[in-house]
Amino acid sequence: MQQTMSRPQPNMPPNSQNGGPARTQSLIITAITLFALSGLIIGFAVGAVTRPKQAAQPTAAPTVNPVAQKSQPTTAPKTEPQPLGCPIIDQSDNVGVADGTTIHTFQIHAVDKSGKCAQSGKAIEAPGITCKLWLSKSTDDALKGTAAVGTNIKAIPQPIKGEVENSLTFTDSQHSQTQMCDDKGHGFWKFSVSPTAKSGDYWLVVLADWDGKFYNLSWVPFKINAN
């Protein structure tokens, strides 16, 4: 039997030549793959664009320790000395016993000259006033004695004319016979009468002297009884 081979006819479809169906299938698979890859890439891109940004964490401000301001010490203005009235006697005993043990108290405050001597006046509340208490037999001697030392602060602790020395023993170490009155113009004493003091009538005399510029004094009767 004789076999014959036929040639492709010119009017046959192109895809029927040289494995046409397999080539077409390969192109379709490639197109689908590219389409899928492009979709995946677009999805990643959209996700990156639409992803919410995380809120920025606030930065803590550095802690600054306040620097303490040093307060400047204030100096109270000094009160200028002015004329003194007779010191007001706030507390006094009028009778003492010469036993060396009985304690007596005496207290005064400084005043200006606006009132009546030894009875009234505006209180002077200022530092710088020297006060002294002593025993005298004569008020005239007390006046003369203070006139001699009133402008000399250093002489005030010394015995004053008419002073009966060693008759009073001052028992408070913080309040000696001659002392600086406090910043309110107050003077305070505690004393006993020496056993050697003679009984009789005396005067307790007190002096207030402001910086040796102005001074004044007061007195009260004081009777000493023998032990």
Task: Establish if 155 belongs to a structural domain.
Answer: yes
The single-letter code of the amino acid at 13 is P
The per-residue pLDDT for range 126-179, each reduced to its tens digit, is 999 999 999 999 999 999 999 999 889 999 999 999 999 999 999 988 889 999
Tokens representing residue 28 in the block:
């379709």
Task: Establish if 62 belongs to a structural domain.
Answer: no
Domain that holds residue 133: 88-226
Task: Establish if 136 belongs to a structural domain.
Answer: yes
- Between 11 and 225, the more confident residue is 225
Task: Establish if 174 belongs to a structural domain.
Answer: yes
Task: Establish if 106 belongs to a structural domain.
Answer: yes
Number of domains in the chain: 1
Predicted structure pTM score: 0.67
Task: Establish if 14 belongs to a structural domain.
Answer: no
Task: Establish if 148 belongs to a structural domain.
Answer: yes
The 88-92 sheet, strands edge to edge: 88-92, 104-109, 186-193, 168-170
The 178-180 sheet, strands edge to edge: 95-98, 214-226, 200-210, 129-136, 178-180
Task: Establish if 74 belongs to a structural domain.
Answer: no
The per-residue pLDDT for range 95-133, each reduced to its tens digit, is 999 999 999 999 999 999 999 999 999 999 999 999 999
Q: Tokens 């009133």 correspond to what residue?
A: 150
CB atoms within 10 A of CB 175: 19
Assign residue 187 the CATH number of its domain: 2.60.40.1930
Nearest in space to 186 (alpha carbons), one of 121, 130, 226, 119? 130
The pLDDT, as a whole number, for residue 75 is: 60
